[in-house]
Chains A and B, each alone.
Chain A
């Protein structure tokens, strides 16, 4: 079974440009999460999809960030326009939609550098 995949693994862009990160969850996982780790800080939650619906987007930093999950499969996270403080590692995770399912499976992350 394939794990959570993320693309690209690295992205270097200039301030003001747009970047789109993609996450493919484990097949059959309805829950999809985005997290971010800014340099030197803890990993922080951004948002949570259940299928194609946003269940919780309380961690989204501002309206420069737009997440979508069309069709309830893969998800994209767009940053437009990117700022220097957006640099960090963006993780995606997925889990099953079960009352007893606590474990989230993480992808390798996308390292974003804004110069």
Chain B
């Protein structure tokens, strides 16, 4: 069975500071990994995905994530936070195309001026 752990349900960062959201997974097979974002009153939007190509994945809005198999991690980063990054972020894993997603608990990001 797969599981995803996001460290920290809430993260507060200052505008312009580094955003680092942690995600660790457990999977019996090589996984495919995703970060989704949910802005207030909106649905889930895909930020980026890892599907066994390059281990450093670049996504939308300046976010990127690095797949580290040895650490079973897929942490999300953004060098400089913007007020518009305030949202909830979800890490998710899938075994294969067409399968169900397994989500972490989510991390809500607050950006302080």
Contact = CB atoms under 8 A, between A and B. Distances in A.
Interface in B4-43: 4, 32, 34, 36, 41-43
Interface residues of B, number: 25
Contacts of A3: 43
A111 to B, nearest CB: 10
A41 B105 contact: yes
Interface size class on chain A is 20 to 34
Interface stretch (B45-53, B61-69, B71-79): B45-53
A48 B100 CA distance: 7
Interface of A: 3-4, 31, 33, 35, 41-45, 48, 50, 55-56, 59, 91, 93, 95, 97-109
Q: Which 6 A-B pairs have the closest CB atoms?
A: A106-B44, A108-B43, A45-B100, A43-B103, A42-B105, A106-B43
Interface of B: 4, 32, 34, 36, 41-46, 49, 51, 90, 92, 94, 97-106
